[in-house]
Structure 1
C-alpha cells in the first residue's frame, strides 16, 4: 500500500501536477512552511499567502492583488471546494464552515474577538475586513487569523480555495490553496516558490515576484504530492 502511494507521489511530483490534499495528519502542520493561493480572474491577479508565525496561533495571511477598482469593498473567503480545470469560481461551493457557525446563528455576524463561535472558518473578511484597492488597483494586506491551520482536519486550509467577491457577492476571482513543505536533507525534488505554481485554471504572470511571500521561499519544496502522501498514510 505505502509502496503504491510512494509511486503515485513520485509520478505526480515528476509531472509537476497540481494536487490538493485535505490533511488528516495533524503532524503535517509542523512540516508545512507556507501555502500560496495564486488568484486570477476578470483581470485580477496576485497571491494570498499563509505562513505560521512564532508566538501566535493560527496563520499569518498576506494578500497582494492587482486589477481591482479603487475604493470598492471586496469580500474574500476560503471556500470548500477547489477551483476546477475550467476556472469556474462558482464551482468552489460555499464558505468553509466546518464548525457550522453560520447555521447555528440565526443572524450571521462575525465578531473577530470570538472567531470560534461567531465566524465561519473561511470568513477572512470577517477577521480582517474587506479588501480595498489603492489608486493603482492594488490591495495589500497582512493579518493574523487565529484559528486556521495547515494540519488539523477541522481547521486546515489545505484542500480548499480562495474566492474574491464583488460587493454584490458575485465571484470575481479565485485560486486553489497549495501547500509547501520544508525540505528534508535527502530531498531531491525542490522548486523555487517564486516560480509559477499556478492554479489549475490559470497562470498568474504577475504573482511570482511579489515580496509578500518571498521570505523562506528557498527553504521549501513543492508539497502538493507530499501532502497527498501524508494524508493518505494517515487514513
Structure 2
C-alpha cells in the first residue's frame, strides 16, 4: 500500500510486562510523500485487524484498554498519559527521508502486553498515518507465520532449522535491544539443538508493498 514496505517485531520481556520493539522501514516514507508539517509519520497499534481488501479503516481506534483517550497529548515521561497502542506518541514519529527507508529502530515499551483479552497486542494491527490519513496497515501475527519452509511443512509448534524470514525481518539477531531475548534465530536454550522458537514467542507484522501481510 502506497509502496510502503516495513517490518515490525515485538518480543515479550521476561516478566511479561512490556516488549522489546524492532522496526525497519524499507521504502515508502519519502519526504515527497509526507504531508505533516513536521515531516513525520505517526504509527500505532489499532484495536482490530485489517479489513477485507486491505481496509485500514476497519482497524478501529488505537489500542487503549485503560481508556486514556486522545484529549490529552501523550507525554513519554508519563506513560499513564499514553494509550498502549500510541507507539509514535511514546517513541517518536517515523521521520521522512529522501529514499523513504529508515534503519532499524529499537526501543522498549513497558505498556505492551501479550496476554489479556483487552490488553494483548496479538491479533491486532499496525497502522501508519500520513498527517492523520491511514496510508498503510497490516495485522500482528506470530512470527512463525512469516517464515518459509524449504522442502518442509509449516505444521507443528517448532520451526524447522531451515526456516527463513522475509527480507523485511532479516538481520533481526543483529539488533542489540533484542539480544536479551534472543528467541528469533535460536531458542532460548541453545543446548536444545539450536531449534527456532515456538509460535507464541514473538509477534510480528510486515507491511508489504501491496499492503498485505506476508505469510
TM over 0.5: same fold?
yes
Q: Does 1:60 align with 2:23?
A: no
Task: Tell me what 2:197 maps to.
Answer: 220
Distance 1:136 1:143 in 2: 23
Q: Structure 1: give runs of 5+ residues left out of the alignment.
A: 1-40, 182-186, 197-205, 225-235
Distance 1:152 1:113 in 2: 25
TM-score in terms of structure 1 length = 0.61
Distance 2:100 2:16 in 1: 31
RMSD: 2.9
Distance 2:88 2:123 in 1: 20
2:159 to 191, 196, 200: 191
Task: Tell me what 2:56 maps to.
Answer: 89
2:94 partner SS: coil
Per-residue CA distance 1:6-51 (angstroms, 9 max, x = gap): xxxxxxxxxxxxxxxxxxxxxxxxxxxxxxxxxxx21001211111
Q: What is the correspondence of 1:68-147 to structure 2 with a 5 Å cutoff?
A: 68-70=29-31, 72-102=39-69, 107-116=71-80, 118-139=81-102, 140-147=104-111
Q: Does 1:49 align with 2:12?
A: no
Per-residue CA distance 1:187-219 (angstroms, 9 max, x = gap): 9443367435xxxxxxxxx42424358953242
TM-score in terms of structure 2 length = 0.66
Question: CA separation of 1:56/1:94 partners in 2, compared to 1, >3 Å: closer, same or farther?
Answer: closer
Distance 1:49 1:165 in 2: 19
Q: Structure 2: give runs of 5+ residues left out of the alignment.
A: 32-37, 145-154, 186-195, 202-215
2:90 partner SS: helix
Task: Tell me what 1:15 maps to.
Answer: none
Distance 2:198 2:15 in 1: 24
Paired residues of 1:61 and 1:142 also in contact (CA < 8 A):
yes
